[in-house]
Amino acid sequence: MDQPASIIDPAPSNDEMGRRIYELAARLYPICRSITGDGVRETLEILSETIPLERHEVATGTPAFDWTTPREWMIRSATVRNAAGEKVIDFDDHNLHVLNYSAPFRGTVRLDELKRHIHTLPEQPDLIPYRTSYYSENWGFCMAHNRLAELPEGDYQVEIDAEFKDGSLTYGEYLHRGETDREFLLSAHVCHPSLANDNCSGLAMLACLAASLKSRKTRYSYRFLFAPGTIGSLAWLSRNEDVTERIDHGLVVSCVGDGGGPTYKRSRRDNAFIDRAMAHVLSRCPKPATLLDFSPYGYDERQFCSPGFNLPVGLFQRSAFGTFPEYHTSADNLDFIRPEHLAESYRIVTEVIDIVEGDWTPVSLCQKGEPQLGRRGLYAALGGDRSTGLSAMSLLWVLNLADGRHSLLDMAERSGLGFKELAAAAELLRLHGLLADAR
């Protein structure tokens, strides 16, 4: 039989990998990103130091199914000054202060008019919200509600030095080529500004995962996509319909650096291999995991799972989007994510890849009764030993289910044992001439 492709060994240590991912996320955090513009390009340049990204530019006005690639947005500065000339809002202090994709504006406005263009969070009065105006042109700011409440009546000088121009939408792509052209797609959105968990964590983790694959021999090819949310994945899909026919598994990754979860949202197919593999890995996590059914609301899995494609792509997160108080606020900062949580998220995804790479369907060459394991040195004493260890049980489960119809993942689901343990047992049995590949 063909040997399964090599299993990913999460080396360096989990602590070291968590530190590497965190440090990369920290470099990405200060950049003001949007769905287009130089912030995306700067982000991709930093990621290119870790993996050789191929950068794609999609011209403004290019159709992407029912959508159209938007203009580039450039932001240079944005301030609001009181009557004394003092800055009460400054984009340089925090890039969430500007309504993302804000139109340019310059003028003097009264406080009541200014308030119509300021977004706050009254229920979280010390935090700056993240708000966008991608497809409805407007100008605006975001600030802490308490700060807004302190502003006195009067005139305010407003200046948003921004512009829209015909240019392009930018996305990055890296393909790790395996032994076959069947693909595993991993995607993270690259449009959010200074939000550490959503989604500097996902960008950094996938870049480090891609780097770890570079020197490894794999059966599948692994495609990493770093694109602006919604419009970026639509642009990629519209240009790569032939590639989608090769995608057997996929994950959208975001919010993987906090201490919640883990959480997995199934693909539209509901029981695709990726859904089963994620469920198996998460069932063995130290913390209880949450498995969610597919819904057409969320991240770019919505586009990959749209009915015209229906790709087997799920969403992996720690805390699910919208469920933690830091979500889309200035509290989603570098103090909110931790190296140990990033390392655990990395471990979960690598274990899923281990299953994708290592799954096969064995058939027993001794199906009438159990083979005698003891004389082969495989099993010391089956007899009356009531304290049979898991390693012994893994041998027995593999032999019993090795009828040519059960893969190793099937066996893991049926037995409740870990995939890695069953894979090791199957390899041992194969080496002793008791198993063959059912293909």
For residue 436, count CB atoms less than 10 angstroms from its CB and return exposed for 0-12, middle for 13-18, buried for 19 or more. Answer: middle
Q: What does DSSP say about strands 247-253 and 313-317: parallel, antiparallel, or unpaired?
A: parallel
Question: Which pLDDT does position 4 carry in this prediction?
Answer: 43
339-358 and 201-213 helices cross at what angle (nearest 10)? 40
For residue 320, give the nearest of 150, 167, 163, 198 by alpha carbon. 198
Query: Which CATH number is correct for 14-69+168-358, 3.30.70.20, 3.40.50.1820, 3.40.630.10, 3.40.50.620?
Result: 3.40.630.10
For residue 50, give the nearest of 24, 82, 87 by alpha carbon. 24
Residue 325 backbone dihedrals phi, psi, to 5 degrees: -65, -20
Query: Is there a binding annotation on residue 192?
Result: yes
Question: Which pLDDT does position 383 carry in this prediction?
Answer: 42
Question: Mean pLDDT throughout 253-277?
Answer: 97
Contact call for residues 35 and 193 (beta carbons, < 8 A): no
Question: Which pLDDT does position 3 carry in this prediction?
Answer: 41
Q: In whole angstroms, give the CA distance from residue 265 to residue 252.
A: 10
Question: Which pLDDT does position 9 carry in this prediction?
Answer: 45
Question: Which pLDDT does position 380 carry in this prediction?
Answer: 53
Question: Which pLDDT does position 369 carry in this prediction?
Answer: 87
Query: Is there a binding annotation on residue 189?
Result: no
pLDDT exceeds 70 at position 2: no
CATH 3.40.630.10 in the chain is located at 14-69+168-358
pLDDT tens by residue, 107-124: 999 999 999 999 999 999
pLDDT exceeds 80 at position 160: yes
pLDDT tens by residue, 316-375: 999 999 999 999 999 999 999 999 999 999 999 999 999 999 999 999 998 888 888 878
Question: Mean pLDDT throughout 57-68?
Answer: 98
pLDDT exceeds 90 at position 56: yes
Could you tell me the pLDDT band of residue 377, with boundaries at 50, 70 and 90?
A: confident
What's the DSSP call for residue 380?
A: S
Question: Mean pLDDT throughout 137-146?
Answer: 97
Q: In whole angstroms, give the CA distance from residue 260 to residue 135.
A: 32
Question: Which pLDDT does position 7 carry in this prediction?
Answer: 45
Give the type of residue at 324. F
Q: Tokens 């982000």, residue?
A: 43
Which residues, 6+ apart, have CB-to-CB distance to 243 below 8 Å?
183, 223
72-165 CATH fold: Glucose Oxidase; domain 1 (3.50.30)
pLDDT exceeds 70 at position 125: yes
Longest C-alpha distance within the chain, in Å?
92
How far from 262 is each of 75, 184, 281, 348, 376, CA to CA, in Å?
Answer: 36, 21, 11, 9, 42
CATH 3.50.30.90 in the chain is located at 72-165
Question: Which pLDDT does position 12 carry in this prediction?
Answer: 66
CATH 1.10.10.10 in the chain is located at 362-437
Extract long-range pairs of 324-328: CB within 8 Å, 24+ residues apart: 324/258, 324/260, 325/124, 326/197, 326/258, 327/197, 327/198, 327/255, 328/129, 328/130, 328/195, 328/198
For residue 328, count CB atoms less than 10 angstroms from its CB and return exposed for 0-12, middle for 13-18, buried for 19 or more. Answer: buried
For residue 103, count CB atoms less than 10 angstroms from its CB and return exposed for 0-12, middle for 13-18, buried for 19 or more. Answer: middle
Question: Which pLDDT does position 205 carry in this prediction?
Answer: 98
**How far from each other are the two terminal CA atoms of the chain, in whole angstroms?**
8
Collapsing DSSP states into helix, strand and coil, what is residue 428? Answer: helix
Question: Mean pLDDT throughout 37-53?
Answer: 97
User: Vertex 261, ends 259 and 264: CA angle to 5°?
Assistant: 140
Contact call for residues 104 and 115 (beta carbons, < 8 A): no
| CA 128, chain centre distance (Å) | 24
Query: Is there a binding annotation on residue 66?
Result: no
Contact call for residues 418 and 412 (beta carbons, < 8 A): yes
Which one is predicted more confidently, 376 or 242? 242
Q: In whole angstroms, give the CA distance from residue 336 to residue 319.
A: 12
pLDDT exceeds 60 at position 149: yes
Question: Which pLDDT does position 373 carry in this prediction?
Answer: 82
Which one is predicted more confidently, 18 or 383? 18
Question: Which pLDDT does position 374 carry in this prediction?
Answer: 79
User: What is 362-437's CATH number?
Assistant: 1.10.10.10
Question: Which pLDDT does position 1 carry in this prediction?
Answer: 37
Q: What is the mean pLDDT of the chain?
A: 94
